[in-house]
């Protein structure tokens, strides 16, 4: 018996990657990494001094599923952390929605495929809470903040 599309981890991860690539990379021009900790994106011939690293955290699959993400907003050559604050604000803007009465962002859930069109599955993710770290200074002079949103969605288990 196969899993319902709403309970497939591949669909969850692919949908979240699509959301962040479409918004943070394509719209905002930010460099992204996925599940690589604080690693700087490997862009040949380009010095990277600002990027976002998205790491998939624990997941609890059930009728009301939940997942934590760890989103690292990272900058270098940012002595006072001003660009880090701007980057944090930009990312937080995509995790909230002032047009919703509850302020919670909705992220579409897709049935992903290796080839062929993806189809949107009803509902999607709701960004329920975002826990935020303070500014952290790494030994290599990277400054970063960790945003940890909790996502919830209905799944058929």
Residue 100 is part of a domain; what is its CATH number? 3.30.2000.20
**pLDDT above 90 as % of the chain:** 79
Distance of CA 58 to the CA centre of its chain: 14
Q: Which domain holds residue 130?
A: 5-154
Global pTM reads 0.92
Question: Once rounded to an integer, what is the mean pLDDT over residues 104-128?
Answer: 91
84 confidence band (pLDDT: 50, 70, 90): very high
* Average pLDDT of the residues of the chain: 92
pLDDT the model gives residue 1 = 58
- Into how many domains does the chain fold? 1
**Residues 99, 130: contact at Cβ < 8 Å?**
no
């Amino acid at each position: 018996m196969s899993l319902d599309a709403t309970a497939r981890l591949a669909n969850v991860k692919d949908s979240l990657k699509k959301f962040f690539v479409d918004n943070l990379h394509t719209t905002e021009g930010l460099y992204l990494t996925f599940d690589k900790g604080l690693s700087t994106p490997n862009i040949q011939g380009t010095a990277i001094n600002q990027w976002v690293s998205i790491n998939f955290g624990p997941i609890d699959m059930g009728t009301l599923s939940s997942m934590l993400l760890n989103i690292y907003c990272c900058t270098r050559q940012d002595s006072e952390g001003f660009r880090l604050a701007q980057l944090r604000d930009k990312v937080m803007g995509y995790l909230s929605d002032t047009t919703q009465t509850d302020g919670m962002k909705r992220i579409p859930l897709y049935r992903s495929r290796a080839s062929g069109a993806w189809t949107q599955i009803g509902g999607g993710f709701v960004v329920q809470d975002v826990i935020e770290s303070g500014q952290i200074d790494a030994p290599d002079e990277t400054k970063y903040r960790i945003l940890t949103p909790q996502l919830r969605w209905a799944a058929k288990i």
